[in-house]
Amino acid sequence: MRLGRRALLAAPALLATPAGAQSSWPERPISLVVPFLAGGSTDIAARILAERMAPLLGAGARIVVENRAGAGGSVGSEWVRHRSADGYTLLLASASALGTNPAALPEQTPYDPVEDFTPIALVGGGPMVLVVPMQSPYRDVRALLAAVRAAPGQMTWATSGAGGIGHLTGEYLKIRAGGLRAEHVPYRGGSAVMEALAKGEVDYSLEVLASVAPHLRDGLSRGLAVTSLKRHPLFPDVPTLDESGLPGFEVTTWNVLVAPRGLPPQLAETLAAAVRRVLADSVATARLAQAGVDPAEPGTPAATRAFLMAEREKFTGIVRAAGLRLGR
């Protein structure tokens, strides 16, 4: 996924009440569901969107953020799936909620990430970071992978949960590096992973940039590589996995705005146009970047659907290649 900010000025007419839609929409507050606890990068991004999008939808329009956490985003996503497709309930989903969970935990994820929702807009995302404790002897990716290869099954790697984006990225790394073996240690959240790394309890991890960044700045952990195809501007000295001997390696986390299945196309486009306007606002995009969400390039509902389909296939392929049998 290519992320970045590109100026786009959507004509005001795009945000006018769409033909065929209820003329007074929105006549009551819109609920923007975040399927995680408050305070994380998805929650912060949702609050920025709610604040900036509401005035674009009409005088007096309100968007209220609602946190419905659980099961790596699946609880809130499933709740939204059963709401009316009337434009009053939206979901800011993550790569875990609509990507890795359906692929790795199908029995615990009772929805299709594409067919059971109406895609609206890709909001942003960012790379994972391959990170080791600061006291680790491994200074680059090649040294770490060589050590894992030399001691099959003996080294440990942490993630913020089985079946999540970090887990599948780590499995993909092992596959791409030639079928390596290491012990996966799931923790309950990114902060717990980073604490374990700082204490030297595990050998390495793949975590989202938003969780890793404070530790890299404070010298508590060492970043060996990012999982995007380009280096990240916050840490330009950290190379990519593509540069580090794994050509073409790319896995990113992301946030995408969706609605229940059946949202009228006119409403989907109106909401997508509002997102495009927000992503063209330098103040809003700066705040998103601070939260660890690199703003996406402007898109459409159709492009968002194609993106979700591609991500579903990618993560399903990783699960198949790794032979994961989670929750079965």
Provide the domain limits for residue 150.
127-226
Same domain assignment for residues 43 and 107 = yes
Q: Render pLDDT for 192-240 as a digit per residue (tens, 0 to 9).
A: 889 999 999 999 999 989 888 889 999 999 999 999 999 998 899 999 9
CA–CA separation, 144 and 270 (whole Å)? 48
Residue 327: predicted pLDDT:
58
- Same domain as 257, residue 117: yes
Residue 270: inside a domain: yes
Query: Is 218 within the bounds of a domain?
Result: yes
Is the pTM higher than 0.95? The answer reads no
CB 157 within 8 A of CB 206: yes
Residue 245 lies inside a defined structural domain of this protein: no
C-alpha 87/C-alpha 257 separation (Å) is: 12
Q: Is residue 33 part of a domain?
A: yes
CATH number at residue 80: 3.40.190.150
User: pLDDT tens-digit profile of 252-266?
Assistant: 999 999 999 999 999
Residue 78 lies in a domain: yes
Q: What is the pLDDT of residues 100-136, one digit of tens each?
A: 999 999 888 999 999 999 999 999 999 999 999 999 9
Secondary structure class of 57 (helix, strand, coil): helix
* 102 and 196 housed in the same domain: no
Look at residues 175, 191, 226 and tell me which one is the last residue of a structural domain. Answer: 226
Q: How far apart are CA 321 and CA 232, in angstroms?
A: 28
| Statement to judge: residues 257 and 121 lie in one domain | yes
Q: Note whether 184 and 270 are same-domain residues.
A: no
Residue 16: band (very low, low, confident or very high) from pLDDT cuts 50, 70, 90 = very low
Give domain status of residue 236, yes or no.
no
DSSP annotation string for 179-248: S---EEEE-SSHHHHHHHHHTT-SSEEEEEHHHHHHHHHHTSEEEEEESSSS--TTSTTSPBTTTTT-TT
Secondary structure tally for the chain: helices H, strands E: 11, 10
Q: At what angle do helices 265-279 and 41-53 cross, to 10 degrees?
A: 100
